[in-house]
Amino acid sequence: MTTPETEAFTRKSSVATAKQVRLNLVYIDLWSAVKVSAMVALAISVAVFLTVILSWFLLSSVGVIGALEGVIGDILGDGGGGILALLQLEQVIVLAGVGALINVLSLTVLGSVGAVMYNAIARFTGGLTVGFTNA
């Protein structure tokens, strides 16, 4: 037979207490940083590439591209052919692709340089302390 006091004690002891752990992040693997930064850079580059292409289609359908070609033609006359060629869809796709490629390469390099810098700083400071708990 249980009394109210023993029942309350049993309930309190059956409740799991959350264990807290503090860990130091003292090292970031360079190859992991390169892979993660390359995937993030690829996602950003695809988003920027699609945004540029969709913006061109939007501006073209509204008539902004045609009006801009008219203004450039009026200002520069026959000498504006090089600038007008940059407004064509094929040229916009090429330039957006080159920009996306440069973006992937530069962000991947920056991610790996960031990991190397963190590893160097963590040697002196002991790293970043992170707290975890299991709830």
Of 73 and 43, the structure prediction assigns the larger pLDDT to: 43
Taking the CA of residue 91 as centre, how many other CA atoms within 13 Å lie in the half-sphere pointing to its CB?
7
Q: Which residues of 74-110 are buried (b: 16+ CB within 10 A; e: fewer)?
A: eeeeeeeeeeeeebeeeebeeebeeebeebbeebbee
Domain membership of residue 75 as a residue range: 31-128
Task: Please indicate, yes or no, if residue 14 is contained in any of the structural domains.
Answer: no
Task: Please indicate, yes or no, if residue 42 is contained in any of the structural domains.
Answer: yes
pLDDT digits (tens, 9 = 90+) for 76-115: 776 666 777 777 889 999 999 999 999 999 999 999 999 9
Number of domains in the chain: 1
Task: Please indicate, yes or no, if residue 62 is contained in any of the structural domains.
Answer: yes
Task: Please indicate, yes or no, if residue 90 is contained in any of the structural domains.
Answer: yes
Residue 32: per-residue pLDDT: 95
pLDDT digits (tens, 9 = 90+) for 18-40: 888 998 889 999 999 999 999 99
Task: Please indicate, yes or no, if residue 25 is contained in any of the structural domains.
Answer: no
Residue 116: per-residue pLDDT: 95
Whether the per-residue pLDDT at 14 is higher than 90: the answer is no
pTM, full prediction: 0.71
